[in-house]
Amino acid sequence: MNPDDLAHLIDQRCRRSGRFVLRSGRVASEYFDKYQFEADPRLLDEVGAMLAPLIPAGTQVLAGLEMGGIAVVTALGRHSGLPCAFVRKVAKEYGTAQLAEGAPIEGRQVLVVEDVVTSGGQIALSTKDLRDRGAHVDHALCVIDRQEGGAQALAADGITLHALLRRDDLDAARAAGGGTT
């Protein structure tokens, strides 16, 4: 599958129209239902394969954010061979009481992995928590950047956002393929 085919397929399967409240609290008329590509093993595998070349040099650990980033980071780890950490929004209060489970992050170069980025808010919060625990985080990687200010907000926190697909790519795929939801 090439990137244009992937953009078209994700646009067809994931773009929804209506009224949606986003994590930031903002109301949007469009929503990218990432669970539609995360729940399809073949499509998720294609996403992981295409994300792998975007991993910045020097990355030692891939850190997937709860909840959607977990499926993506697992697929990405399979294609990159890098160990994965699974990052909660809040450290659990039982068991190991960890914020990040899996691969150790302290003192390591960590790439934060997310599914869809709008404002970048969850990446910023999770990056702060990871940095507080000794991780070095300079980059984040997402499947879809909605191009609504997330990359700029993250840059202000010293995080460079890399995206497999941007809203412009999905719009172009829709225009070229005439797909509808």
Ligand-binding site membership of 33 (annotated):
no
- H or E stretch at 154: helix 150-156
Ligand-binding site membership of 114 (annotated):
yes
Ligand-binding site membership of 87 (annotated):
no
Ligand-binding site membership of 106 (annotated):
no
Ligand-binding site membership of 59 (annotated):
no
Ligand-binding site membership of 30 (annotated):
no
Ligand-binding site membership of 146 (annotated):
yes
- H or E stretch at 140: strand 136-145
Are 135 and 154 a contacting pair, CB within 8 Å? no
Are 117 and 150 a contacting pair, CB within 8 Å? yes
Ligand-binding site membership of 15 (annotated):
no
Q: Listing from the earlier edge strand, what are the strands of the sheet with 84-87?
A: 100-102, 84-87, 61-65, 109-117, 136-145, 160-166
- Rounded Cα distance, 154 and 59, in Å: 18
Are 166 and 142 a contacting pair, CB within 8 Å? no
* Cα–Cα nearest to 34, from 17, 13, 50, 55: 13
Ligand-binding site membership of 122 (annotated):
yes
Ligand-binding site membership of 128 (annotated):
no
| Maximal C-alpha separation, the chain | 51
Ligand-binding site membership of 133 (annotated):
no
Ligand-binding site membership of 147 (annotated):
no
Ligand-binding site membership of 42 (annotated):
no
Ligand-binding site membership of 131 (annotated):
no
Annotated binding-site ranges for 5-phospho-alpha-D-ribose 1-diphosphate: 23, 88-89, 92, 114-122
Annotated binding-site ranges: 23, 88-89, 92, 114-122, 146
Annotated binding-site ranges for orotate: 118, 146
